[in-house]
């Protein structure tokens, strides 16, 4: 049990309080407990009631060994071939609570995808927590994990969802189960989002669950990655793309769990633990992105400064708004919106490669200033437009085969890719990456070096982690640490190096 738990009162207090008051205090205390050493995340009330157009229960989805209920929401007139999102509630919540609070239903209407909301109950766990800590329930082909897989199969058949664009997200205990599902079924889920959750297969027994929740397990990235690889033996990829959300003031799930999740999934992807990019978002949120070998985001870590235990939401009518505030739905920014961008649910191609259009060829840097970078590429037959990505994040669109990015920092290297977008809004494969380095950068004498990654590290201009090389200072991913991958590095300040493959004037 957690050290914060407690339900008893003194005899004197008992005598002075009414039964109703004592019942209220008992309910509040139970919310802080870890029942059966499961996550009792306190995810209780405060979300608005489900609307008349809310989720509906679906039966007959399989043998259901996990004893779960299936609810779904499908926007009116949704055509076949659209994505599917599976959203897992937190402890003591219901599917309707999560439907109302999380913002996923709003985004389903806006962007066009089907939503499945599994629901557990007191028959499975006293506080209706998903059993992320029980290997008889959270592993491939067993228990609750298999029940969710059967729900996906049902939804794909019933709604015509695209089986290559199925995603899973969850909060707290639901996030722990989401992490397990990503490890169990990498052949089912293209991506996942874990909010205030635990690494996949962190605990396999109830007695080990509290240790995962409350502190570090002191495992290496490779040891964390092995837990994923062991969950789906023989699977070699592609692995799901994973978003991790964590409040820095979370006293229910220790923030170190986000670091361990980052270590786990970057190791699975075979990339280092150094972020390719770091940027600030609304709601005091820092986004760290870890790219795969092609420059596409594979893992994203969202750290929300000062936020406690809960799901970040941001009610309102703006483009970036969604969700409703309440107990453990915390008003910072809409995590569901940002996760949806990462997965490419908005149709702008946040995760290129879901369409059939080929990757543009010939991407090149045509000019740079101290604050701009001009790009050009070859046309793709059938393309209606193109999306340009800087470090894996969409920064603009173009109908022609050229684009100029603005507002950049002097003397800095920026990696770019571009993808074609079809008339139906689907995005094709991303191009090979190029790096544009802006001019200027202060009075430090600029020097450039072109060499293989092994020699760049040996010379002290880069470092290696997990078999990949990273530029010192900027921490840009240079690819595999070997003799065969060559880059140009530019020193823009003492000990600060940026990729300058697009040209480097010393």
SS3 237: coil
In the 3-class helix/strand/coil scheme, how is 281-308 assigned residue by residue?
ECCCEEEEEEECCCCCEEEEEEEECCCC
Is 335 catalytic? The answer is no
Report whether 215 contacts 254 (CB < 8 A). yes
Q: How far is 161 from 155, CA to CA, in rounded Å?
A: 7
CA distances from 280 to 250, 303, 304 (A): 20, 10, 10
Nearest to 242 by CA among 286, 180, 294: 180
- Distances 137 to 63, 128, 191 between C-alpha atoms, Å: 14, 14, 21
The residue annotated as part of the active site, out of 131, 147, 161, 172, is 172
**Ranges of H-type helices in 297-396:** 335-343
Q: At what angle do helices 173-184 and 143-159 cross, to 10 degrees?
A: 80
Helix axes 173-184, 221-231, angle to 10 degrees: 70
Q: Containing H/E element for 480? A: strand 477-480
Q: What is the distance of C-alpha 386 from the center of its chain?
A: 24
Q: Which residues are catalytic, by number? A: 172
């Amino acid at each position: 049990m957690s050290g914060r738990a407690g339900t008893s009162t003194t005899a004197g207090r008992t005598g002075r309080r009414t039964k109703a008051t004592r019942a209220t205090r008992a309910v509040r205390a139970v919310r802080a407990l870890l029942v059966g050493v499961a996550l009792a995340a306190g995810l209780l009330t405060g979300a608005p009631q489900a609307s008349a157009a809310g989720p509906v229960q679906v039966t007959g989805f399989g043998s259901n060994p996990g004893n779960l209920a299936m609810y779904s929401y499908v926007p009116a007139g949704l055509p076949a071939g659209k994505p599917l999102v599976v959203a897992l509630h937190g402890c003591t919540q219901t599917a309707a609570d999560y439907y109302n609070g999380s913002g996923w239903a709003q985004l389903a209407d806006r962007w066009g995808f089907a939503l499945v909301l599994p629901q557990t109950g007191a028959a499975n766990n006293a506080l209706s927590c998903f059993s992320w800590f029980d290997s008889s329930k959270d592993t491939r082909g067993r228990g609750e994990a298999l029940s969710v897989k059967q729900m996906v199969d049902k939804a794909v058949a019933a709604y015509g969802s695209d089986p290559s664009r199925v995603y899973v997200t969850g909060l707290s205990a639901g996030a722990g189960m989401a992490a397990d599902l990503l490890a169990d079924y990498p052949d089912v889920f293209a991506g996942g989002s874990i909010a205030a959750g635990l690494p996949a297969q962190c605990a396999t027994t109830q007695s080990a669950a509290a240790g995962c929740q409350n502190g570090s397990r002191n495992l290496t990235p490779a040891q964390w990655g092995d837990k994923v690889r062991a969950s789906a033996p023989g699977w070699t990829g592609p692995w799901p793309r994973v978003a991790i959300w964590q409040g820095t003031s979370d006293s229910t799930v220790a923030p170190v769990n986000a670091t361990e999740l980052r270590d786990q999934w970057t190791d699975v992807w075979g990339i280092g633990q150094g972020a390719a990019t770091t940027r600030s978002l609304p709601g005091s949120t820092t986004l760290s992105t870890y790219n795969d070998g092609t420059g596409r985001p594979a893992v994203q870590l969202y750290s929300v400064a000062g936020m406690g235990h809960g799901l970040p939401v941001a009610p309102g009518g703006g483009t970036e708004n969604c969700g409703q505030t309440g107990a453990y739905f915390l008003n910072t920014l809409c995590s569901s919106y940002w996760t949806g961008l990462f997965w490419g649910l908005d149709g702008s191609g946040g995760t290129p490669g879901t369409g059939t259009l080929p990757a543009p060829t010939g991407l090149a840097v045509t000019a740079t200033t101290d604050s701009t970078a001009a790009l050009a590429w070859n046309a793709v037959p059938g393309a209606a437009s193109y999306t340009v990505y800087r470090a894996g994040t969409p920064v603009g669109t173009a109908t022609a085969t050229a684009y100029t990015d603005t507002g950049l920092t002097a003397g800095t290297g920026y990696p770019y890719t571009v993808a074609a977008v079809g008339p139906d809004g689907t995005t094709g494969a991303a191009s090979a990456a190029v790096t544009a380095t802006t001019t200027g950068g202060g009075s430090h004498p600029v020097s450039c070096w072109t060499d293989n990654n092994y020699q760049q590290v040996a010379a002290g201009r880069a470092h290696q982690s997990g078999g990949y090389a990273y530029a010192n200072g900027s921490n840009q991913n240079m690819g595999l640490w070997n003799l065969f991958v060559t880059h140009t590095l530019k020193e823009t300040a003492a000990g600060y190096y940026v990729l300058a493959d697009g040209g480097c004037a010393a």
